Structure 1
Amino acid sequence: MQSTLLQSHAVGFGRMAPTVSVANIDRAVDFYTRVLGFSKVFENGSPVGFVILEKDASELHLSLFKSHKATAQNVAHLMVQDAAALYRHLEESRVKIIKTIRDADFGLRCFVFADPDGNRIDVAEGL
């Protein structure tokens, strides 16, 4: 069901970037840049409390929340071109895998890993 606004107005949507809370921003930036190949393109605060990371078409915002506790829910969904290669790389990098790679009946090769703060990232590739 579309909202009245969208039915009566042409509203274009641009990119959407998830914000992930982290307890240690330096550790998180190190993980996402060193292990996943993101580049830091923006930081804010003194000390730094917010960072924007980019890789290809993906953007991720990290926000410092010192009492952050991870949940059992996925915080971001990352579409990739070679899920199996990323999975192998994460295993070799000793990243915690939450759900092993599988070809799902909904048409995706997918798995879930956790960053150093326990944030769950769902990774998928269309089959």
Structure 2
Amino acid sequence: MLLATTLPAGRVSRVTALRVWAPNVSRLGVRADDATSELDEAGDGWWSGPDLVPGTDYGFLLDDDGEPVPDPASRWQPSGVHGLSRVYDQAAYRWQDAGWTGRDLASAIIYELHIGTF
């Protein structure tokens, strides 16, 4: 069973440092773009890996399995949930909704329940 997550780790000059909790593996690697790197065991199930820049496609290599699996905490899966993850820089997104004033509360739907739910 895979129990892995990346923390919102240290960001230094638009770089994401990998910090993964995967206590049930004996070896952990990352395939980033076309390069493969081993992650270093940091104790208590934690692993640390190379820094990745935004736009890098990556997946984790568990034990000796040659097929990478996506990051379960990824914010961007450009090829779907079974494809590689991509490092996403949230700070780079430029919001374009400055003119939006919201909705009138009277026209809002607070809760809608379909009878077929039960």
Computing the radius of gyration from Cα coordinates, the structure with the larger value is 2
TM range (shorter): under 0.3
In terms of fraction of residues, the more helix-rich structure is: 1
Question: TM-score, normalized by length of structure 2?
Answer: 0.28
Identify, as 1 or 2, the structure richer in strand: 1
TM-score, with structure 1 as normaliser: 0.27
